[in-house]
Chains A and B, each alone.
Chain A
Amino acid sequence: MITADHLLLLSVVLFSIGVLGVLTRRNAIIIFMSIELMLNAANLNFVAFSRLGRVPDLTGQTFATFIICVAAGEVAIGLAIIIALFRNKETVQVDELNLLRW
């Protein structure tokens, strides 16, 4: 029987993999993909609670839809920023972008 604990643990693992990716990779595009992993983990939690909570309710699925929408906007802007960055600095490695570092 699938309980919410299974789904929550899967979501925890997915989120931690995303955190690991953001912290260890240097390629800005891969960092973006890791952020997508974390957003998906959050979505999984919303759907799990929507279906398996004490009072099943579709609000969770509605919120997951909004999160997907926000993620799509975030990806569009983020990738445009990466392209602008590449035009100006010829790199997408995040530790070579240290203009604002003190």
Chain B
Amino acid sequence: MGSEVVFGLLAAVTVAGAVGVITRKNPVHSALLLIATLMSVAGIYVLLEAEFLAAVQVLVYAGGVMVLFLFVIMLVDLAQRGQDAAPARRISKGAVAAGVVLTLLFLCVLLSTFAMEPLGATSAGGEALRAGGGNLGSVALVMFRYYLLPFELASVLLLVAMVGAIVLGRFKL
């Protein structure tokens, strides 16, 4: 019973924060609301027993990525404030497109049936999940046993991104 209430609260904060992100005029407010959204998504991860991912979400997104966003807003955006009034025609067109996406995805979810293992149930699969020494140990087992090559490729990708960001930021293009 408790987890439903917590999930409802977290989902409400997530959606409200996301709506705030795309409606606020001031980009700093958008960034702070995005932090709220990311934090409540991390809470939902905890609810789903994905503690490792929740920690990564808080550290990488709410910590690193959002600090980067705030830095760029401070560097770039101070002179841009108040210029973001999109024409009403464009907003209505965008709303129609997003509404079509929403409806189609809603139909996809509602018309498909997934056999669910409810939270906290003690099935064989759930036990296997909790076996290797908690969530962190289990994720480490899966990641390094079956996904070692993608893991290394991800680190190369991060290196390339770092070099690219430095080059783009440093030289006058």
B106 CB contacts on chain A under 8 angstroms? 9, 12
A80 CB contacts on chain B under 8 angstroms? 164-166, 168-169
**B139 engages A58 (CB within 8 Å):** yes
The distance from the CB of A24 to the nearest CB of chain B, in whole angstroms, is: 4
Task: Tell me what chain B mostly uses at the interface: helix, strand, loop, or mixed.
Answer: helix
**B15 engages A10 (CB within 8 Å):** yes
Q: Among the listed B83, B154, B165, which residue makes an inter-chain contact with A76, where contact means beta carbons less than 8 Å apart?
A: B165
User: How far is A68 from B119 in the complex, measured between Cα atoms in Å?
Assistant: 24
List the B residue with the shortest CB-CB distance to A29: B27
**B101 engages A25 (CB within 8 Å):** no
Residues facing B in A26-56 (CB within 8 A) are 26-27, 29-30, 32-34, 36-37, 40, 43-44, 47-56
- Mark interface residues in B43-84 (1 if CB within 8 Å of A CB, else 0): 011011110110011001100110011011101110010011
List the A residue with the shortest CB-CB distance to B143: A62
The total of Cβ contacts below 8 Å across the A-B interface reads 254
Please give the number of chain A residues whose Cβ is less than 8 angstroms from any Cβ of chain B in the complex. 75
List the B residue with the shortest CB-CB distance to A14: B18
The distance from the CB of B92 to the nearest CB of chain A, in whole angstroms, is: 9
User: How far is A80 from B161 in the complex, measured between Cα atoms in Å?
Assistant: 10
B105 CB contacts on chain A under 8 angstroms? 12, 15-16
B162 near A: Cβ within 8 Å? yes
User: How far is A92 from B30 in the complex, measured between Cα atoms in Å?
Assistant: 16
Residues facing A in B1-38 (CB within 8 A) are 3-4, 7, 11, 14-15, 18-19, 21-22, 27, 30-31, 34, 37-38
Which residues of A approach B to under 8 Å, CB–CB?
1-10, 12-21, 23-27, 29-30, 32-34, 36-37, 40, 43-44, 47-59, 61-62, 64-66, 68-77, 79-84, 86-88, 91-93
Which residues of B approach A to under 8 Å, CB–CB?
3-4, 7, 11, 14-15, 18-19, 21-22, 27, 30-31, 34, 37-38, 41, 44-45, 47-50, 52-53, 56-57, 60-61, 64-65, 68-69, 71-73, 75-77, 80, 83-84, 86, 90-91, 93-95, 97-99, 101-102, 105-106, 109-110, 114-119, 123, 125-126, 128-129, 135, 138-139, 141-143, 146-147, 150-151, 154, 157-158, 160-162, 164-166, 168-169, 172-173
Cross-chain pairs A/B with CB under 8 angstroms, 15 sampled = A2-B3, A7-B48, A10-B15, A17-B22, A20-B22, A26-B83, A30-B30, A40-B41, A40-B61, A57-B129, A59-B146, A66-B151, A72-B158, A82-B76, A91-B80
